[in-house]
Structure 1
């Protein structure tokens, strides 16, 4: 698993004798942005509207949460 993370350039390592010290090459925020873009592209045809609609229909988003999202969108575009 660690080798896969290294191949994807998420993790680097240093050799110390017979042991290895592993460290992140990207931040959690960078990984999260990349993951979410891929997730929306693969499962919702790149449409954030479809993603929000899906979670709303599945009752995973409350009206209050939707209102908060709308407020954040309005604040971002102001």
Structure 2
């Protein structure tokens, strides 16, 4: 989302979307959303929107397998490659 809208809007929409979540679900989503916004902002500053979107999407996919994002396993927050 950060690629297509300003940082404040991306933050507000993502955070509001999680307003009904609780516990580790909410923690995971907010943490992963923050990381996604950071990388989207990074690529947005360097590439066209279309290219920034592709790079951001690719980054997110690769970072799931390398444990740089978070998942819930057995009710606990763990690195995504666990």
Global fold match (TM > 0.5): no
Indicate the structure with greater strand content. Answer: 1
TM (norm. structure 2) is: 0.26
Larger Rg: 1
Structure possessing the higher relative contact order (Cα contacts under 8 Å, 6 or more residues apart): 2
TM (norm. structure 1) is: 0.27
